[in-house]
Structure 1
Amino acid sequence: MRLRIIAGRANTGKSTYIYDEIIRTAGKTKDNLILLVPELMTYQAESDIIQRYDLPGIMNIEILSFKRLENKVLEEVGGNKLSEMSVFGKIMLLKQIFEENKEKLKVFGSSYRQSGFLKEFEELISELKQNLIDGSSLIKAASNVEDELLKNKIYDIELVYSEFHRRTEGKYFDEEDKTNLFISFIKESSYINNSRIWIDGFESFNHQRLSVIKALCDFSKSVTLSLNIDSSYLENPEDKDDFEAFKIIHDTYLTIEKLDLHMEVISLEQNLSLAPEIKAIEKNMFSLNAEEYERDTDNITIYSSLNPYTETQRTAAKIISLVRDKDYRWRDIKVALGSLDTYETNIKRVFAQYEIPYFLDVKRDILNNPLSKYLLSILDMFIWKFKHDHVFEYL
């Protein structure tokens, strides 16, 4: 029931501290070493560890998301043999519940017919489950509300939510039900019992995820969690000028404190940024009483442009200059955008014109991938006995 917290602001080396500790531990033990990171960071974290320490591979080190860890434990203890309900199944069940109870509903009696309403309600149910809110909690909340419309909405939500729970309990499982099952099975998992766990890259956790962390602390050999906040902010945050920037993380810390765990805080204070200007920005960006930076700024340049297109052109010219004149490599350069929708078309056009290789970090529909279309069209031809449309789609 012990939790170590690595606390430090940006660029103080929290991830490096964790990676170093994992590598040191890997040489001394045969325990499972697990690094938990957000879903989209698993590949990057694995790549960073291999490249940073020049490793040919990693054997007893696993970089996982919470969902992947959940699946591994359920596979081990047999919890994956469940009748799982998809999002579409939940929406169909919700439609049936709304139709059967429309006379009882005070506000949402006909709303379910609106486009997108059932999808939004399905997401609401998922959020209620993730934060461990049941029907009785909703009734209690409604009794404390004076606004009649809001009170009736909460009563409607409780009616549908409770009916949804009654019809699915013990029969069908969604993602949130699987997580609850995972929490109950952690104590039976020899994989977890023989593991040392590090958690990195998160700012906040819902109540269900906090229950997972507590169970991991109870039944694994050790758990270490990094938080992007100065350790001095954990005790007297209101005294700091830029406290609002760290409020979410501080609230996370306060919630973890309530888990009845013995916590040890390891403080990292030195900013490892090489450029003094970057250090000054990190320190003062959100401060109400920012310190004036009086030295010359060699590492920060501010440009103004007429529109996003000319801004993209200037950026492309700067990238070409760095690669041609200062021996940078393409992979050394990143472009951070405030809005990808605004710049995506310009980047594709301008970077192609300047012959700059690039990767856009956007989600792509796998069904629009040429290889996927090719394989599906072959299958369609055989399934539908070479119908005209499918043959031409293949060609």
Structure 2
Amino acid sequence: MSLQFVMGGAGSGKTRYLYETAIKQAVEQPDRLFLFVVPEQYTMQTQKELVRLHPRKGLMNMDVLSFKRLAYRVFEDLGVQVPAVLDDMGKSMVLRKVAGMVRRDLGLYGSHLEQPGFISQLKSQISELGQYGIRPEDLKQVEAETDHPLLKDKLKDLGVIYKSFRDYIEDHYITAEEILDILCRELPRWEKLKNSVIYLDGYTGFTPVQYRLAELFMLHAREVVCTVTVDLRENPYEKCGIQHLFYMGRHTVCRLKELADRHHVEIKQEIRCDRRPGWRFKDSESLDFLEQNLYRYTGKVWAGKKPDIRLCQGKTPAEEAAYICTMVNRLVREDGLRYREIAVITGDPVSYGRELIHPFEEAGIPYFMD
């Protein structure tokens, strides 16, 4: 039982270190299981990269899972029967039904139930309450403690709907968020875990139930290795305020360390990925400079050669979209890039998404809206 952190800034090579270390150990110790637990949308890319780097071009005694996929793997091995799981559409249908049933008990939300998108927002709120283990009783407690009238009304209505939702699905369905609660109960019985090395990669932080699973990993697995994005010029083991740029990374380190200390789990010396320039920016010193100083307010100014950053200004979103479309075509036709190597990132995906769809389709540019 041990815990080890791999720390560094973005693009510093944390994930690459995990891949190379895991592959080397997997070849040397074929009887041991090496599990990568990564976010759901990251599993396929991780599998692809591990296969590419592996000398035998196969995962063999390695596996890549998200927390949810790990749950189903454990349930399958242990023969655990799980009730029917409500998907997003099912949640929305149940919420619409129960909200209608308790409509007369709703003060603030009663007049909004027919508004487009309201049930969808309510579904997202209910899902988040489930992720963080919030019960209807907890909402009542917060409602009693607050002096803000509007917040009190919202908490009251949300509590009524949430309780009705829980009562309606009880003994018939479970939500996707409850799968991890079941996993917490069953995981200690999974024999494969005792001979496993667990790699936690790609997370900026964990929900309470995921911390419970990380605690079980530390108690029952041979070793847990977790990557954390922090600024190594500061002490990552020191707590900081929520306004700090790397609050989530440092909070993760402190929380996992507390769990390890509580159970007397060995904490190994951390791996510090501090190569400069970072691996991701080895061909661009200006981007490496940006990564080290963005939102740091150090007062430093780039004084090197022409940076790999260009600032352009458009009068309207439509003008910006047209410029982006032109740039994408130029990068593909003249610079040899592939469409999958280009990303358009915006703080307002709804508005800019509408502006981008038409010029992209006219130019025949394939795209995926996330």
TM range (shorter): 0.7 to 0.9
Structure 1, gaps ≥5 residues long: 324-329, 353-357, 364-395
Deviation at 1:147, TM superposition (A): 1.6
Choose which of 299, 321, 335 in structure 2 pairs with 1:290.
Answer: 299
Measured against aligned partners, the alpha-carbon deviations of 1:273-299 in whole angstroms (never above 9, x if no partner) come to 3232222121122221231222222x6
Moved segments of 4+, more than 6 Å: none
Residue 5 of structure 1: aligned partner: 5
Residue 316 of structure 1: aligned partner: 329
Residue 259 of structure 1: aligned partner: 259
One-letter code of the match for 1:336? A
- SS at 1:84 equivalent: strand
Measured against aligned partners, the alpha-carbon deviations of 1:314-343 in whole angstroms (never above 9, x if no partner) come to 4533554434xxxxxx45983231247244
Q: Say yes or no: does 1:182 pair with 2:187.
A: no
Measured against aligned partners, the alpha-carbon deviations of 1:227-259 in whole angstroms (never above 9, x if no partner) come to 1113434245769xxx84322323333443443
Contact 1:79–1:181 (Cα < 8 Å) also in 2: no
- Point out the more displaced range, 109-118 or 150-159: 109-118
Choose which of 327, 335, 343 in structure 2 pairs with 1:336.
Answer: 343
TM-score, scaled relative to structure 2: 0.82
Distance 1:98 1:333, change over 3 A: closer
One-letter code of the match for 1:300? D
Structure 2, gaps ≥5 residues long: 347-351
Residue 281 of structure 1: aligned partner: 290
Cα distance in 2 for partners of 1:206, 1:237 equals: 18
Contact 1:230–1:267 (Cα < 8 Å) also in 2: no
**What root-mean-square deviation, in Å, do the aligned CA atoms of Structure 1 and Structure 2 show?**
2.9
Cα distance in 2 for partners of 1:294, 1:120 equals: 47
Cα distance in 1 for partners of 2:119, 2:309 equals: 48
Cα distance in 2 for partners of 1:282, 1:65 equals: 28
Cα distance in 1 for partners of 2:186, 2:176 equals: 15
Distance 1:233 1:91, change over 3 A: same
* Count of equivalent residues: 347
Cα distance in 2 for partners of 1:55, 1:290 equals: 49
Q: Say yes or no: does 1:234 pair with 2:236.
A: yes
Contact 2:34–2:61 (Cα < 8 Å) also in 1: yes
Contact 1:106–1:156 (Cα < 8 Å) also in 2: yes
Deviation at 1:10, TM superposition (A): 1.4
Cα distance in 2 for partners of 1:337, 1:7 equals: 28
- SS at 2:109 equivalent: coil
Q: Say yes or no: does 1:302 pair with 2:310.
A: yes
Choose which of 267, 274, 277 in structure 2 pairs with 1:269.
Answer: 274
- Point out the more displaced range, 168-177 or 20-29: 168-177
Deviation at 1:77, TM superposition (A): 1.8
Residue 381 of structure 1: aligned partner: none
- SS at 1:33 equivalent: strand
Percent sequence identity is: 20
- SS at 1:63 equivalent: strand
- SS at 2:122 equivalent: helix
Cα distance in 1 for partners of 2:257, 2:143 equals: 29
Cα distance in 2 for partners of 1:92, 1:206 equals: 26
